[in-house]
Amino acid sequence: MALTREQLAQRVAKELRDGYYVNLGIGIPTLVANYVPEGMDVMLQSENGLLGMGEFPTEETVDPDLINAGKQTVTAATGASYFSSADSFVMIRGGHVDLTVLGAFEVDQNGNIASWMIPGKLVKGMGGAMDLVASAQNIVVTMTHANKKGESKLLKECTLPLTGAGCIKKVVSDLAYLEIHDGKFHLVERAPGVSVEEIIAKTEGELVVPDHVPEMTF
Amino acid sequence: MALTREQLAQRVAKELRDGYYVNLGIGIPTLVANYVPEGMDVMLQSENGLLGMGEFPTEETVDPDLINAGKQTVTAATGASYFSSADSFVMIRGGHVDLTVLGAFEVDQNGNIASWMIPGKLVKGMGGAMDLVASAQNIVVTMTHANKKGESKLLKECTLPLTGAGCIKKVVSDLAYLEIHDGKFHLVERAPGVSVEEIIAKTEGELVVPDHVPEMTF
Amino acid sequence: MGGFNKVVSNYDEALEGLTDNMTVMVGGFGLCGIPEGLIGKMKTMGIHGLTCISNNAGVDGFGLGLLLEDKQIKKMIASYVGENALFEKQLLSGELEVELTPQGTLAEKMRAGGAGIPAFFTPTGYGTPIAEGKETREYNGKMYVLEESLTADFALVKAWKADTMGNLIFRKTAMNFNPMAATAGKITVVEVEEIVEPGELDPNHIHTPGIYVNRVIKGTFEKRIEQLTLTK
Amino acid sequence: MGGFNKVVSNYDEALEGLTDNMTVMVGGFGLCGIPEGLIGKMKTMGIHGLTCISNNAGVDGFGLGLLLEDKQIKKMIASYVGENALFEKQLLSGELEVELTPQGTLAEKMRAGGAGIPAFFTPTGYGTPIAEGKETREYNGKMYVLEESLTADFALVKAWKADTMGNLIFRKTAMNFNPMAATAGKITVVEVEEIVEPGELDPNHIHTPGIYVNRVIKGTFEKRIEQLTLTK
């Protein structure tokens, strides 16, 4: 079975480490915050200018001056700090964030990512995504493996305008966890109940499949 | 009579305007703070990271964490702020300082200034002087007109390594106030009791002398 | 402090000198930390042909969205503009020009503009449409794009507190792009929630020193929330 | 906050991994705001061949001057080094190399290093010996020099207060080069006067967020004054 949104988030959460500073993109990546393993502390960075994002507020604590990069009202965790957007991207561009999680339309076997623009549709802007992918050492892309027509989104070469070039090394799709190196996708884990054959069929890019592909655990 | 150090500072102080943010270099420029005209407010910027430098402290108020760019203990004026040296040079390089006063070894008719290095002598470093002269719109150089041997320091072309190129427009020497434009020095005022002839004799650079050269007032 | 009293008493004075076809930099992220009254004044002034530099373009009927109603904005430099139907309409009809800029690059361009740095190299956007036509260069095995700085005729800033000398403190994430905007305007106007006397703000914790600020006005703020999300 | 407790209890731990021939960035302006204990520890460790990036080089017998006594510094990148007889001697004898850098350029190079910006244009030094061999370019009729950023193996920082998570607050002009140094070290070690619990520092007024800080140690400081000047 393909992973649900919640399961995607749960699998990505396994990439967290105690003491990590983490930037979570909008959508499924945001859900990762719900699956921080017990006994582990992570600090969430929000690129508008917050390190230490807490839970959503209550009606009593909601504050219009405290939002995240998705423009949602949030709270600040203990030990949080506020700073300008320029200083926020000193953190990001300077490679100080330990893990970045974001979605994508397409990823290709050379680590290129397309996530912000579909020609012919209205272009809303890239926000901070280009900065995030250009600078982070450790990026996890989470996405569906194929589109609704069944066409692969893990490609030999991205067809959409890029968000970043040669920067993606890890992909958690709804079918598999894959790594990208040496110009190829490498299948590492498959979603529980998903066959290697289905993953092969839905991966357009060059895919290296080891003899044994374990099922994901959460 | 050539101006004393105190008189030099007094003449430079006439370039102050109410509401000016001012950076004063080490030496005679520092003395300018003693001659801010009555009823006029200026804020002194110190490039180590202080806007709103106050007077020297007393033995009771002295604080090793509060120094100026000359490493002297100082106080903070009402409305002062502290910031990093990077932010300090955002102010300076960004052209936000209204007036910069500094000394020089040599100035030439093209507005070049040499103030930091005498080849063959030990080079101590330029500190913030290169940033200050490269960025300020309004710079006053205060210096002696000639060296102890009587040789001019207002030259056709600087002989010492430059601090900045084409950036000096106003010079208050101990003999005269001069402006620099169109590749020439322009004599504007003379020190009380100093003859135009003496100024001409001690200015190696091209000097434009108007029919009437008023004496400085303080 | 005669020469350092930056306080103005009305919006006419606050935006005096702002005319058609100028470039205006506006602080804020979404609707958070925007100079609401100054934007409202730009609308009633009826100035046109503006180039606006701001991370976002407001929403329909609020923030910079207000200026779209009468087509006052000619060009928008922003990182994300997707919250606004009117914006979309004017963009598709060609009435509005947009220069999309990655958020970190935009923030750094504004800082650089205020800091006297005309251009800098950034890894952001290399290999993407953003780098097209721009100089690229390798440093330590990684590719970078040369980006130029931004300044503006007017910078419109929202702060929490100011003293009369224009020293500013921002509050929480309402800081966002405001500190950089404050440094990058030929004339910087700040709308604040509270004005205090010099000396009341801790000099150790002033976010923006008054040297960058030309005018301060006390505003009243609706602080509209774009995405109200509450703990269930 | 297990993973975020940056506090170390001794100087061995604070400088673990610092070895010969490394590049060390040190905060401070003159003797103000210097990490006294960390410098002292570098001396007793006896490491050699260091490249030090710091605005100044201390004085004889204090600050970075201590490291000159045993010729531990191979190269100094600084803006002003004139307070130190030993420095002068080693410089003239060729035992010590100096790369003089304008103060604002040095501050910006350190910030850029921490910010992932490999190079930027500055007007500073154009037409002077500083620009020799460097690329220059005209923007809006003014000439600029391309300067590259600086990073270091270790950044040694002095702050006033830290919480255990490494969030920092500096005090008065002891801030100086410390915030930029904090961002530019592969390993950033901070020596502070006081360590508090997370939550005790106002999030709105943290100068350096803990993300840049690897280790925090409580020091004791002599805070020697270089130029005692008092009101007469």
Output the domain CATH number for residue B55: 3.40.1080.10
Give the pLDDT of residue C110.
98
Question: In terms of residue numbers, what domain contains B116?
Answer: 5-208
Is residue A214 included in any domain, yes or no? no
Enter the tokens of residue C34.
């925007």
Q: What is the mean pLDDT of residues A4-29?
A: 96
Is residue C141 classed exposed, middle or buried when 0-12, 13-18 and 19+ CB atoms within 10 A define those classes?
Answer: exposed
Residue whose tokens read 């929202």 = C158
- Residue of B160, B168, B149 lying closest to B123 (CA atoms): B160
- Residue of D208, D181, D221, D210 lying closest to D23 (CA atoms): D181
- Residue of D110, D89, D107 lying closest to D98 (CA atoms): D89
Is residue A216 included in any domain, yes or no? no
Residue spans of chain C under pLDDT 70: 1-2
Please check whether residue B56 is in contact with residue B75, taking contact to mean a CB–CB distance below 8 angstroms.
Answer: yes
Total structural domains within chain B: 1
Instruction: Give the catalytic positions of B in this structure.
Output: 47
Say if the Cβ atoms of C3 and B78 lie within 8 Å. Answer: no
CA pair distance C80, A108, nearest whole angstrom: 25
Where are the alpha helices (H) located in C69-200, listed in sequence order? 85-92, 103-115, 178-184
**What's the Rg (C-alpha) of chain B?**
17
From chain C residues 170-189, the ones with a CB under 8 A of any chain B CB are: 183
Lowest-confidence pick of A30-34, A80-84, D14-18: A30-34
Give the pLDDT of residue D105.
98
Each residue's pLDDT tens digit, C61-98:
999 999 999 999 999 999 999 878 888 889 888 999 99
Is residue B176 included in any domain, yes or no? yes
pLDDT at D37 over 50: yes
Is C11-119+149-218 CATH 3.40.1080.10? yes
Each residue's pLDDT tens digit, B98-119:
999 999 999 999 999 999 999 8
Give the pLDDT of residue C1.
47
Which of C4, C163, C183 lies at the smallest CB-CB distance from B43? Answer: C4
Instruction: Check CB contact of A93 with chain C, cutoff 8 Å.
Output: yes
Enter the tokens of residue A42.
């992570």
Give the model's confidence band at D85: pLDDT under 50 very low, under 70 low, under 90 confident, else very high: confident
Please check whether residue D5 is in contact with residue D135, taking contact to mean a CB–CB distance below 8 angstroms.
Answer: no
- Residue of B167, B182, B177, B188 lying closest to B114 (CA atoms): B167
User: Positive or negative CA dihedral for C189, C193, C194, C199?
Assistant: negative
Instruction: Check CB contact of D91 with chain A, cutoff 8 Å.
Output: no
pLDDT at A146 over 50: yes
- Residue of B83, B89, B87, B99 lying closest to B25 (CA atoms): B99
CA pair distance D71, A175, nearest whole angstrom: 60
Query: pTM value?
Result: 0.98
User: What ipTM was reported for this prediction?
Assistant: 0.97
pLDDT at A26 over 50: yes
Backbone torsions φ then ψ of C21, nearest 5 degrees: 70, 10
Is residue A134 included in any domain, yes or no? yes
Q: What is the mean pLDDT of residues A179-194?
A: 98
Give the pLDDT of residue B57.
97
Query: What average pLDDT does chain A have?
Result: 96
Catalytic residue among A47, A106, A189, A204: A47
Enter the tokens of residue D192.
């502070």
Say if the Cβ atoms of D115 and A135 lie within 8 Å. Answer: no
Please check whether residue B126 is in contact with residue B114, taking contact to mean a CB–CB distance below 8 angstroms.
Answer: no
Q: In chain D, what are the domain boundaries? A: 11-119+149-218
Query: What average pLDDT does chain C have?
Result: 96
Instruction: Check CB contact of A42 with chain D, cutoff 8 Å.
Output: yes
Please check whether residue C46 is in contact with residue C72, taking contact to mean a CB–CB distance below 8 angstroms.
Answer: yes
How is chain C split among helix, strand and coil, in percent rounded to 5? 25, 30, 45
Is residue B218 included in any domain, yes or no? no
Is residue A183 included in any domain, yes or no? yes
Give the model's confidence band at B122: pLDDT under 50 very low, under 70 low, under 90 confident, else very high: confident
CA dihedral of residues A181, A187, A192, A197 (deg, nearest 10): 150
Query: Which residues in chain A are contacts of C225 at CB distance < 8 A?
Result: 62, 64, 67, 73
What are the DSSP E strand ranges found in B13-162? 20-24, 42-46, 50-53, 76-82, 99-102, 106-108, 113-114, 139-143, 154-155
Percent residues over pLDDT 90 in chain C: 93
Q: How far is C141 from chain A (nearest CA, A)?
A: 13
Which of B56, B70, B84 lies at the smallest CB-CB distance from D175? Answer: B84
Three-state secondary structure call for residue B93 = helix
Instruction: Check CB contact of A38 with chain D, cutoff 8 Å.
Output: no
Each residue's pLDDT tens digit, B33-52:
999 999 999 999 999 999 99
CB-based contacts of D77, cutoff 8 Å, min separation 6: D51, D52, D53, D54, D98, D99, D101, D106, D150
Query: Which residues in chain C are contacts of A70 at CB distance < 8 A?
Result: 227
Query: Which residues in chain C are contacts of B79 at CB distance < 8 A?
Result: 1, 4, 163, 165, 167, 198-199, 210
- Residue of C111, B196, C61, B10 lying closest to A88 (CA atoms): C111
Instruction: Check CB contact of A134 with chain C, cutoff 8 Å.
Output: yes
Give the pLDDT of residue D53.
98
- Residue of B176, B181, B183 lying closest to B213 (CA atoms): B176
Each residue's pLDDT tens digit, D55-64:
999 999 999 9
